[in-house]
């Protein structure tokens, strides 16, 4: 059996924990996507629009298009298209950057702020549930498993195995 075959042949003991953790995180992310879609629809936004509105709401200051793209992991073009619709509907406001007129900053309008306050009431209860789950997992154990996952990935994908 080659080294690569041995590395892929993962037992169901402790070495399988990083994969289980990865799969649990994927399932959690899918649940979060469904929640964002449902919450967005309940306030008349698409999932992507809701994601932008939430990023602006969580920011302590106005954000440029570039900053918003980085925070949401969306392309600049996608952010631009979404912002146009949100500005048109009165949820987001555009502001010229004081030091450089080429840069536009974005913030929530008063309508957007009111929308977010209603949504965050729902999100607070969701966060409380998540905190209970996290407390159930010992922090050291979680960090150890994440470290094992990183080590396995680095060992498997180093230059000698590719």
Mean pLDDT, residues 128-150 taken together:
70
Give residue 112's pLDDT: 93
Give residue 110's pLDDT: 94
Top mean pLDDT of 53-57, 84-88, 110-114, 127-131 is at: 84-88
131 in a structural domain = yes
Give residue 11's pLDDT: 47
Domain that holds residue 121: 3-156
Give residue 77's pLDDT: 96
Q: What is the CATH number of the domain that holds 43?
A: 1.10.10.10
161 in a structural domain = no
- Alpha-carbon distance 55 to 74, whole Å? 12
162 in a structural domain = no
62 in a structural domain = yes
134 in a structural domain = yes
Give residue 21's pLDDT: 77
Output the average pLDDT for the chain.
80
> Looking at the 3D structure of the chain, how many domains does it have?
1
């Amino acid at each position: 059996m080659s080294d690569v075959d041995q590395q892929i042949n993962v037992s169901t003991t402790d070495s399988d924990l990083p994969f289980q953790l990865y799969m649990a995180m994927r399932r959690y992310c899918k649940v979060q996507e469904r929640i964002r879609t449902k919450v967005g629809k309940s306030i008349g936004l698409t999932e992507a629009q809701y994601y932008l509105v939430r990023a602006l709401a969580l920011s302590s200051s106005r954000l440029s298009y570039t900053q918003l793209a980085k925070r949401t992991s969306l392309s600049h073009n996608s952010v631009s298209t979404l912002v146009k619709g949100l500005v048109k509907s009165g949820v987001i406001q555009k502001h010229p950057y004081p030091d450089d007129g080429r840069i536009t900053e974005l913030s929530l309008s008063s309508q957007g702020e009111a929308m977010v306050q209603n949504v965050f009431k729902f999100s607070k209860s969701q966060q409380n549930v998540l905190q209970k789950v996290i407390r159930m997992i010992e922090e050291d154990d979680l960090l150890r498993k994440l470290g094992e996952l990183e080590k396995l990935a680095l060992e498997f994908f180093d230059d000698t195995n590719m």
